[in-house]
Amino acid sequence: DYRFERSEYAATGILEYWIVDIFAGKVSVLQLVEGFYDVTEFRGSDRLVSHVFTEICLTASQILEAKS
């Protein structure tokens, strides 16, 4: 969810969450900064940057193309 969950997560202090949108071909990483979320979008070969999972070494494509 791009709106409702954002305010719910902020109110509970969730530092970071991700939205994986296979239809738009992007991974959005939302980081809580002073009560609001800053959004960074990653596509294709962009390497994901996470302030919570600092050791992660994945591209947006790797996440979007993952199979269960």
For 8-61, write each residue's pLDDT tens digit.
999 999 999 999 999 999 999 999 999 999 999 999 999 999 999 999 999 999
Residues 6+ apart with CB under 8 A from 7: none
The Cα–Cα gap between 29 and 20 comes to 9
This prediction has a pTM of 0.89
Per-residue confidence at 68, pLDDT binned at 50, 70, 90?
low
Taking the mean position of all CA atoms in its chain, how far away is CA 47?
12
Kind of pairing between the strands at 26-33 and 16-21: antiparallel
pLDDT confidence of residue 26: 97
pLDDT confidence of residue 4: 81
The Cα–Cα gap between 22 and 63 comes to 9
